[in-house]
Structure 1
Amino acid sequence: MSTSKLISSPVAPEAATSRALQLACETLQIEADAIQAMQARLSDDHGAAFAMATQLLLHCQGRVVVSGIGKSGHIARKIAATFASTGTPALFVHPAEAAHGDLGMITPQDVFIGISYSGEASELMSILPIIKRLGVKLITMTGNPASSLANLADVHLNVWVAKEACPLNLAPTASTTVTLALGDALAVAVLDARGFREEDFARSHPGGALGRRLLTHVRDVMRTGDAIPQVAPDTRLTTALLEITKKGMAMTAVVDQDQRVVGVFTDGDLRRLMETVQDFSKISIADVMHKNPRSIRAEQLAVEAVEVMETHRINQLLVADESGKLVGALHIHDLTRAKVI
């Protein structure tokens, strides 16, 4: 007897697309509803617990240690990273690894955040008695206030959701979203109470765009020494043009015998001069330079130099010290290469 094979009928592309979009919208709505329900609980009977958790984290003398297993572990890693990047020293500890030596990373001065939706994760439960004996303050995030994990906590935060976004109501979806959002809320509340500012964020993100903008100073990107185009006031224009060409900044500074800036001459000035003057041989740079040019200090932020250039529509900027002496020069390309722009 031949064996027949059941072959499912292919779903029409239009129907598959429609179903996918329907599920996407339902998922987003379920998770949005879950976050709104969490917000309502915070505004009602859970606000005191959240405030207590914030105070524990704010006054933590050690690190915030965040732990969880499975999907809760992934959320715990993100929460730890958010705390660390917003001014609160934090790390993730895997509960199974903690039982095999990593508990040595936890000190009595730390605050421990344990995450388990069921509140019964055996890996967490096996290490919590030791953590409690150390005197570590314990914040738990579960979906069951009557769970073992919740009962051990100094502060319990309820992340219960009415249902998961998974059509089978099995895969952690809405519950992990709510837990992550509540972790973000804790981090934001703590950073605000700590007086965390943009400059503080930049120090934790020196490789990012904000870090470059807030940590890069003019002295870090300016041209110095022989790379600065400069001539004396009595220099012939023709000689000054050679200096402009040699240094490749499309301008030259004009400085007196004490190296104080007295003027600047740019390629734009040259183009305008060519419209009215035919013979440059007898002209000195002092006759055609711009007196008292704009400058910036070396200790100022590079982003301030960008602002000056954009405001006054210039591509070059001299760098002078408090006495007016020339110490550097900036071209807009220098700022672009440094990724300040």
Structure 2
Amino acid sequence: MEKSNFVDQIRVFCRSGHGGAGIKHFRRDKLTAFGGPDGGDGGRGGHIILRGNRNLWTLLHLRYHKNVLAENGEKGSDNNRTGRNGRDIILEVPLGTIAMNEETGIKEAEVLHHGEEVIWLPGGQGGLGNTNFKSPTNQAPEYAQPGMPGLEGWKVLELKVLADVGLVGFPNAGKSTLLSVMTAAKPKIADYAFTTITPNLGIVEYRDAKSFCIADLPGIIEGAAEGKGLGHRFLRHIERNSVLLFLIPADSKDHGKELDILVNELEQYNPELLQKQFVIAISKSDMLDDELKNEIAKELPSDVPHIFISSIRNKNIPELKDLLWKVLNA
């Protein structure tokens, strides 16, 4: 089986750096026999930072980083000198990446913008040296603080594809063909189910140098919300799309029922997905006459815009772009 270069989830052990200890020290030199406290503070432990990179579209480059360990801060020194901070570790991630605690499933960080930096696991704070504790009533403190420990644990990085439009439909509905016609993307196309097993992204060039991003997502099957087929691995990518383009082939036995199944799977997975804008495209419609188109239109909900297209014959593709642009900017 061909190994995919698209990795949308990784598991990694992370530990931020421990803070350096502050020190207890008193000034001593040839001119000062009993000087005051001059113990310096410890340095901060290294952070683990996530940085958004729009040139990345997968977590593949992090697949073999099983342990991410930041550097500890150095301890303080005499003459009130603060220890060096531990070096931060910066992980470059694609836009749309979510960081979670594996044990609790709680979302800890999210990166949505290019160049955005999020401190995922902050390093431990350095301890205070004894010079911080001197006072009129305690001019020679005999103690200093240890550094604070860093944070550690098994973490999960999960990518949810960022796209303006998500193509939703059963396997073999023509999603990949439509993407190849509307964009410069070259997805794998074949006449069998689940040709697409990972998301494919393409940029649709629109009028006046405008553009929008469209994602060809793996096909839904009935029961996907319970994890059947590609299940949750597919459905989580839909959460990021502003508009969902339902692609239903003209030769479907029941267009309305097929749409209901698709919408039901979305609702079972996350009811909030129903708040998104919907558009329906009937693919392979070059085989239809006006009478059949009218019959199919009656099966579709009246409050959702629909259009009849043919990717092979490039029929109504410019009109589909116009419709998607209109809905995106409504």
Query: If the length of structure 2 is used for normalisation, what is the TM-score?
Result: 0.28
Higher strand share: 2
- Structure whose alpha-carbon radius of gyration is higher: 1
Structure richer in helix, relative to its length: 1
